[in-house]
C-alpha cells in the first residue's frame, strides 16, 4: 500500500456536475456528499448520518441544508444538525449530531476539497494551481469528459507527464510520426508543489495524414506538461509550431482516486480549432481513445501503487515523473500522510458515485 498526501486540496469533480441535488463522491474509499447552496457555494460533508449511518447523498436539500433520507434529520452546511423531526419541539439536539464538513474551492471548472487537518492554518495549506495560461480560457473551446480506469491515480498521472511513451503506447496513432529513436532530454522547472517541462519532437517522419497535408510538410509537435500535487495535470500540445497557424490542444485532468486501484479521470479538453459545440463529442471521443491507449498499459503495471524509487529503473527521459515522486516524498517525509482506510470502509451505496455519461457534456 503506497502512501498518499494529507493536507492538500484534491480535485474531486467538475463544477458543472454539482447542483442543488446531493451528489456522492468517493475518494480513497471515503464517502462525501456535495451540493450547491442557494448562494451558489459548494458544500462538502461526510456522506454518513451520525444517527444510523445513512448516506445523506440519498436525501434532499431543504433551505440550503441537507436532510437525511432515513429519518429526515436536517444538517447545516457546517455539519451541525438543527432539526430532528421526531422530537417534540424545543427538545435539545445532541451535540454529537454533527457531520464532518470539508473546505471547498472551485477553480478552472473543477471542485477541490481540502483533505487533511482542519486546524492547519490556511496559509500553510499548499495552494490550488494558479497562473494557468490565460489563452486556455480566452481563446479555446473547452469540453469535459470522464473516464473510469482500473488503475492507480498516481500511475495515471505519471503517464500524462511522460514524454518518451509516445513512440510505444501511441505508436498506432499520433506516435507514428515520431521516430522510434528520438532522444528525449529536457530541463524540469520545479516549484513548491508543482513542476513543468517542455519538449519538442523535432524530426518527424513523413506521414500521409490529413493533418500533415493541411499543415504542409512535417509539422513540429511540442508538448508542455505540468503537474500540481496531489492529483492534477495540464498537457499543452502544439502541432505545427513552425507554421503560421499551429493547432493547439490542451487537457486539464483531475485524477480522482476512488480507491488505490480505481480512478475517475475528469478531463477538460481545450482546442483552438473548429470551436463548434456540436463537434465537442467528436473531439472528446478522440481524446478518450488516446487516453485509453495509456490506460490499457497503465492497468497492467505491477505493482499498481508506487513502490520505492529504488525498486524501479529510471532514465533521463523520466525526469518529470521523477520530479513528481520526489515532491510527493518531500511532503510525506514531513508527516503529511493520509490515514489509510485500507480499502475496508463501508462501500454500500458506492454505486451512486459511478460516473455516467450524462454527468458531463
Residues that bind ligand FES (CB under 6 A): 49, 51-52, 54, 68, 70-71, 73
By CB under 5 A, how many residues form the interface with Fe ion? 1
- Specify the long-range contacts of residues 100-107, CB closer than 8 Å, at least 24 apart: 100/45, 100/46, 101/43, 101/44, 101/45, 101/46, 101/77, 102/32, 102/44, 102/45, 102/46, 103/44, 104/34, 104/41, 104/42, 104/43, 104/44, 105/9, 106/15, 106/42
Q: What is the contact mask toward Fe ion in residues 278 to 297, using x (rule: CB under 5 A)?
A: ----------------x---
Nearest distance from residue 29's CB to ligand FES, in Å?
A: 20
Nearest distance from residue 294's CB to Fe ion, in Å?
A: 4
Partner touching 294 among Fe ion, ligand FES, none, CB below 5 to 8 Å by kind: Fe ion
* C-alpha cell at position 62: 431543504
Nearer CB in complex with ligand FES: 70/174 = 70
Nearer CB in complex with ligand FES: 9/75 = 75
Nearest distance from residue 17's CB to ligand FES, in Å?
A: 24
| Locus of grid cell 451528489 | 23
* C-alpha cell at position 209: 495524414
Nearest distance from residue 347's CB to Fe ion, in Å?
A: 30
* C-alpha cell at position 8: 492538500
Burial of 67 (0-12, 13-18, 19+ CB in 10 A): buried
Partner touching 49 among Fe ion, ligand FES, none, CB below 5 to 8 Å by kind: ligand FES
What residues contact residue 67 under an 8 Å CB cut-off, 6+ apart?
59, 60, 61, 73, 74, 75
Partner touching 186 among Fe ion, ligand FES, none, CB below 5 to 8 Å by kind: none
Nearest distance from residue 93's CB to ligand FES, in Å?
A: 12
Nearer CB in complex with ligand FES: 23/74 = 74
Cα dihedral value 7, 11, 16, 17, nearest 10: -90
Whole-number Å distance between alpha carbons of 268 and 315: 30
Nearer CB in complex with ligand FES: 86/333 = 86
CB-CB neighbours of 202 under 10 Å: 13
Whole-number Å distance between alpha carbons of 59 and 72: 8
Nearest distance from residue 157's CB to Fe ion, in Å?
A: 12
Binding of Fe ion by 158 (CB under 5 A): no
Nearer CB in complex with ligand FES: 52/330 = 52
Nearer CB in complex with ligand FES: 49/253 = 49
Partner touching 73 among Fe ion, ligand FES, none, CB below 5 to 8 Å by kind: ligand FES
Nearer CB in complex with ligand FES: 94/216 = 94
Partner touching 112 among ligand FES, Fe ion, none, CB below 5 to 8 Å by kind: none
Q: For residue 211, which phi and psi values (nearest 5 degrees)? A: -60, -45
Nearest distance from residue 237's CB to Fe ion, in Å?
A: 11
Binding positions for Fe ion, rule: CB under 5 A: 294
Amino acid at each position: 500500500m503506497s502512501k498518499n498526501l494529507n493536507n492538500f486540496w484534491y480535485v474531486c469533480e467538475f463544477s458543472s456536475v454539482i447542483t442543488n441535488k446531493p451528489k456522492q463522491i468517493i475518494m480513497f474509499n471515503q464517502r462525501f456528499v456535495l451540493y450547491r447552496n442557494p448562494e451558489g457555494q459548494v458544500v462538502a460533508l461526510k456522506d454518513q448520518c451520525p444517527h444510523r449511518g445513512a448516506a445523506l447523498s440519498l436525501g434532499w436539500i431543504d433551505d440550503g441544508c441537507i436532510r437525511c433520507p432515513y429519518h429526515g434529520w436536517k444538517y447545516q452546511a457546517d455539519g451541525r444538525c438543527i432539526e430532528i423531526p421526531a422530537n417534540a419541539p424545543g427538545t435539545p439536539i445532541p451535540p454529537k449530531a454533527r457531520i464532518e464538513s470539508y473546505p471547498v474551492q472551485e477553480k478552472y471548472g473543477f471542485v477541490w476539497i481540502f483533505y487533511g487537518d482542519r486546524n492547519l492554518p490556511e496559509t500553510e495549506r499548499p495552494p490550488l494551481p494558479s497562473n494557468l495560461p490565460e489563452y486556455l480560457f480566452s481563446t479555446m473551446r473547452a469540453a469535459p469528459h470522464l473516464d473510469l480506469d482500473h488503475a492507480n491515480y498516481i500511475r495515471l498521472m505519471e503517464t500524462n507527464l511522460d514524454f518518451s511513451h509516445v513512440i510505444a503506447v501511441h505508436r498506432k496513432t499520433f506516435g507514428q510520426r515520431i521516430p522510434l529513436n528520438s532522444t528525449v532530454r529536457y530541463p524540469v522547472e520545479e516549484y513548491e508543489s508543482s513542476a513543468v517541462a517542455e519538449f519538442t519532437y523535432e524530426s518527424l517522419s513523413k506521414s500521409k495524414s490529413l493533418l500533415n497535408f493541411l499543415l504542409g510538410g512535417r509539422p513540429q509537435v511540442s508538448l508542455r506538461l505540468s503537474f500540481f500535487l496531489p492529483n492534477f495535470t495540464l498537457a499543452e500540445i502544439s502541432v505545427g509550431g513552425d507554421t503560421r497557424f499551429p493547432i493547439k490542444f490542451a487537457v486539464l485532468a483531475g485524477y480522482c482516486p476512488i480507491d488505490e486501484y480505481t480512478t475517475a479521470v475528469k478531463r477538460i479538453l481545450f482546442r483552438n480549432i473548429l470551436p463548434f459545440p456540436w463537434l465537442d463529442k467528436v473531439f472528446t471521443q478522440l481524446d478518450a481513445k488516446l487516453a485509453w491507449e495509456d490506460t490499457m498499459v497503465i492497468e497492467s503495471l505491477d505493482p499498481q501503487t508506487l513502490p520505492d524509487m529504488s525498486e524501479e529503473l529510471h532514465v533521463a527521459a523520466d525526469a518529470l515523473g521523477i520530479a513528481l515522486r520526489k515532491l510527493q516524498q518531500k511532503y510525506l517525509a514531513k508527516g503529511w500522510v493520509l490515514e489509510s482506510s485500507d480499502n475496508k470502509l463501508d462501500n454500500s451505496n458506492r454505486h451512486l458515485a459511478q460516473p455516467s455519461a450524462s454527468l458531463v457534456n
